[in-house]
Structures are given as structure tokens and as C-alpha cells.
Amino acid sequence: MLGELDEVAEAEGWDELLPPTVADVMRYDGSYVAVPVNVHRVNWLWANPEVLDEAGVEMPTTLDELFEAGEAIREAGYIPLAHGGQAWQDATVFESVLLATGGTEFYQQALVDLDEAALGGETMVEALETFKRLRELMDDDMSGRDWNIATSMVIEGDAGMQLMGDWAKGEFTAAGLTAGEDYLCAAAPGTQDAFTFNIDSLAMFRVEGEEREAQQALARLALEPTFQEAFNLAKGSIPARPDLDMSEFDPCARQSLEDFQHTADAGGLVPSMAHGMAVRADVQGALFDVVTNYFNSRDMAAEEAAERMVNAAQAAL
């Protein structure tokens, strides 16, 4: 159903322009079928500096520090961790905890390769138990809350922190806040050397004639500097092409691009399961069910949840 964009890709030099990881996602069977508009980093931690100051804590860099900071924030009278109780948000937090617990190689084995030993093993159980503990840092009214409402809790000073992808920065920007002053950003605790990516892209259906010409023009314009800068300044993400001048971007975005390039060189880039980059939609849905049911269950043990992940993977393969 998808049309090829190889003609415009060759004319515009996409192979040289795009990082190999980004280019690979845009291809099917060797041909470009989509054009990337950005790169999102999913494993981010956002925080309100005034709340942290009142609690007497700094931005946590490990999972242990996250729990310690959370307790101090609660004692200061704030919600430690803003969250929305929706399956994809649960999965977003879970994959960052998994990445912090097992590292990029384990993440790849479990959530990309669907390796049964990884899905059902001790590291997975440890990650699930840590993930479940995070409920202690969240409020009782999180069920069904949209992600941007959770972000607004951090903006307004009702909550101290939020684990969410960098689209959350669009909310801070829209509120007129300045990165590094009015809000803080850092890699999700324990994932400083990893980068979980989600790429927004425009896929093109197979058409002919004038419609195809219009598609080619759209694909070309989407990667031009003018659009890449304007779109990503508003969205909170970073440009899909790393050669742009980043002077107009805030420190969070500049850090994200630096981390993306460094992590790509070190082989630490991993696709987000929660945001459709790692596995097929049916597999993702099955994993969502396990993660969110476990997170909201009072009785399910981590070992049972890990076993259900193995079963979900087996059913999908």
C-alpha cells in the first residue's frame, strides 16, 4: 500500500543526511516509504525545581535516588511522581525502569527480540517489582488521566516529577517556562547511557501523477531545515537530521541531540516498545495488557507477570 520515496531520497541525499538508525526505520524492503519529522527521546525525567528545593532533594540519577527523593517530596506535601493511569503511560514508565534495571542489551533481548529467557528471567522480575513500587510515589486519582494533565501537575507545582517522553516539553514551552530555570530535565534515572527513541514520520500511500508529485514535494519539505527547526521547537523533540544549527533550541533539546549521537556511536539506541517502534501492534497490545494489569493488581506477583509476558510473546510469534 505504501509508495516508494527513493527518487526524492536520492535527490536530497537522505542516506548521508539521516543517522543510520533513523533511515532504517523509514525503509521497507530497502526502499524509503516514509520521511521522518523528528526524533523523540522517551526516557526523560521532568521536575519542578521549586518542589525539589522545598523537599531538599536534587534530580535523581538512579532508581534508588528516585525513591529517596520521592519520599522527601511527599513529606514536603507534594505528589512525588505525576502519572496518568493509561496503558501506554504505564508502558512508558515500565520500559524506562526496565532499561535502568537491565541495560540496553537486556532491553533489546526482552522488548525487541522477545527472548523468552529475558522476558521470564530474574532481571525482568526485578524490573517489574521496581516498577510496581513506583505506585507508592503516585496519587490515587491517576486512573484515566491524560499525560498532559500529569505534566500540568508538575508545571503548577502540585507534583515534583514526571517520567515521560520529550513531547512533555511542548507543554512546558506552551506555558512560557524556561528549561533549566522553571523546569528541569534529565535522562530517566539509571538510563544516562541509553536512549529510547520514538520517531514521528509521514508515510506515503501509493499514488500516481500529480498526487505523487505532491507527495515528493511534501517529503522533500519535511526534511528541510525550516520545517525541522519550527516543528521541533514546538513539539519538544529534536530534528531527524543532526546537521542543523541548534542555537535556538533549549538545553534539554541540545542535551538530547548530544546523547542521541553519543548513544548511537556506542550502540545504545533502543526503540520504544510503548510507542510502537519495537514490536508489531498485536505484540505491543499483549505486553500493554500484562504491564498495566500487573501495575494495577494487588495480587499478581512479578513472577506471574513475567510468565504472562512469555506467553504473550509465544502467542504472537
Segment 37-72, tens digit of pLDDT: 999 999 999 999 999 999 999 999 999 999 999 999
CATH architecture of 51-195+272-315: 3-Layer(aba) Sandwich (3.40)
Residue 268 has pLDDT above 90, yes or no: no
pLDDT at 244: 93
| Per-residue pLDDT, 64 | 98
125 contact partners, CB below 8 Å, separation of at least 6: 302, 303, 306
- Residue pair 134/224 in contact (Cβ under 8 Å)? The answer is no
pLDDT of residue 107 exceeding 80, the answer is yes
Angular region, 278: left φ>0, alpha ψ -120 to 50, beta rest: alpha
Q: pLDDT, tens digit, for every residue of 239-264? A: 999 999 999 999 999 999 999 999 99
Cα separation, 3 vs 215, whole angstroms = 9
pLDDT at 267: 84
Segment 156-160 shows an average pLDDT of 98
- Report residue 316's pLDDT band, with 50, 70 and 90 as the boundaries: confident
pLDDT at 247: 95
Q: What is the pLDDT of residues 159-199, one digit of tens each?
A: 999 999 999 999 999 999 999 999 999 999 999 999 999 99
Provide mean pLDDT across the span 146-154: 98
